[in-house]
Amino acid sequence: MSDAGRFDPALVAAGTAALDAMKADSPGLVLAVLISDDGFEVVRTPRMGEQDGRFASMASSVQALSEAVIHELQIGKGDAVIIQAASGVVIQQRVPGRSVVLSALFRTDESLGRCLVGVRNCTAALDAAISALPSGSSITL
């Protein structure tokens, strides 16, 4: 079940456009999900597949834990969380200054550098799109 109905349609549209652009630019992208800090899925690409909320919830927890570790160790501001496995790489990055996080799964044949660039470009595009929304928007990010 998608949680998109709980979010402002302008955020869902901006997220959809940004994730679709990242998919077009990153052939190794398997899955990308925009997640709220409270663990709900805003939008994903591809738009089919498992949507029971478990991945969004776990990814949100990973993000919160990584930010707590960074704070505890006093090592500055976090950039990205990278989880490497035998069959894929997950990269998570907060949209700058927002309460949403991008989590993206890439195949291992995509270079880590290219994956990071794709995620950074996507979060920057999302930030710009959210900033450009009308001030009357109900987005409270």
* Mean pLDDT to the nearest integer, 22-46: 92
- Residue 8: inside a domain, yes or no? yes
Quick check: is 11 in a domain?
yes
Q: Which domain holds residue 19?
A: 4-131
In a domain, 136, yes or no: no
Q: 22-36, 44-58, 77-91, 117-131: which range is least confident on average?
A: 44-58
78 falls within a domain = yes
Q: What is the pLDDT at residue 50?
A: 61
What CATH number is given to the structural domain containing 67? Answer: 3.30.450.30
pLDDT in tens, 83-139: 999 999 999 999 988 989 999 999 999 999 999 999 999 999 999 998 988 765 555
The torsion of the CA quartet 20, 25, 31, 37, rounded to 10 degrees, works out to -70
Query: How does the average pLDDT of the chain come out, rounded?
Result: 87
**Closest CA relative to residue 45, chosen from 25, 67, 20:** 20
- What tens digit of pLDDT does each residue of 98-111 get? 989 999 999 999 99
pLDDT of 1 higher than 60: no
Instruction: Answer yes or no: is 86 within a domain.
Output: yes
CB 17 within 8 A of CB 56: no
Kindly state whether residue 96 falls inside one of the protein's structural domains.
Answer: yes
| Domain total in the chain | 1
What span, in angstroms and rounded, lies between the C-alpha atoms of 56 and 41? Answer: 6
User: Residue 94 has what pLDDT?
Assistant: 93
- Which residues make beta-bridge pairs with 81? 92
